Structure 1
Amino acid sequence: MLTAILFMFAIGAAVASVDTTCGLNVLGSLDSTKVNRTKYALVYTVSCTLGGLAAGVALGGIGYLLSLAPISGLQSTLVMAGLGVLLLLDVLNMSRHLPSGNFIVPSEWIQHAGYRSAALWGSILGMGFITLQAGVLFHAYMFVSVLTLSWQASIAAGACFGVVRGALFSLPFVRSVVYAWLGHRWLKRTLLTAVRQILSGGLILGAILWMLMV
């Protein structure tokens, strides 16, 4: 069950990452790059996957160390408690208080988007924790990854996060939807942010209810 929830959050966090400054910059750089767009997207996606793998190895290592402690019977309880706190922070719009990276993409990576910047950008965004994250889904992903206590699952979920994040930004249809949702507002938020918050709350609440019913 925890493994399934882990992959659910890995994919959800990758999708939600579109609603970030770095995510929007990636979309813009791909639209304005002077090199072959298909190759640019491929380099970015492969690099993003490798970055996700690296993060998965780190999270899996932490999870392995935790598995040496007597918490195996408390996993579900700890996960539900942590997800409950994250859900509350998201509802109260207090996710900004969560620890997050502060890497700012250099402007020349956007202005002169080429294969090198795609590789650098992809690997950094694939790791996730180096850059700022909107909302709480990425934190939920990391939290569940560690408490799954399976380094194999953590590595696989990290690769899943990276490849979904990379491929998502590379699809023209996704870019057109993102730009359209940025142009509309709902309850003082962009439609993109509103959809992200609904997705986040639904996934976290669904995961908690699933664990309660099992």
Structure 2
Amino acid sequence: MIPASTKRTALAAILFLAAAMPAYAHVGAGSTSSFAAGFAHPLSGLDHMTAMVAVGLWAAMKGGKALWGWPLAFLGVMLVGGALGMLHVPVPFVEPGILASVVALGLLVALAIDLPVSVGVAIIGLFALFHGHAHGAEVPENAAGLEYMASFAAATALLHGVGMAAGLRLGWRFRGLARAAGAACAAIGVGLSFGMV
């Protein structure tokens, strides 16, 4: 059993490390004017895909209200961030925040961090703001942009569902596999931070 203070220290160190490195993974990348482009984008970006699956895994590990609360919090705040991006409202540290989300969400799963649902909502909401803003900043300010964001949200919900289904299927008996997936997510985030992935 890893002491709680060691878990907190490791999480803080990796978050600061990830926050120091830009991702350059979003703005201006690919088509942003159709339903198909919006749906495909989260499925083609390793940063988004791993973070969304980690949200689902963490929600499944927590259970109860987190099963619906955490994914809905992410979707809702992501859409708010997307609207801010479309309106060109600046949000600081977007790319480092996206990288930090991959690492932090992976660690929360890997270390099986059990937080109150409200604290999980706050953490997930913060990361969702970054993901949403990055994608909202790259879409056109018209109906096609709204279509893109709606399809992006649908793909995000699908990825949350994949994570939840995997976590619930593994259950307590195979909880170590879910934690290993979280560790892989954190490793991908570190790899993205250093340009190794």
Tell me the TM-score normalised to structure 1 length: 0.43
Tell me the TM-score normalised to structure 2 length: 0.45
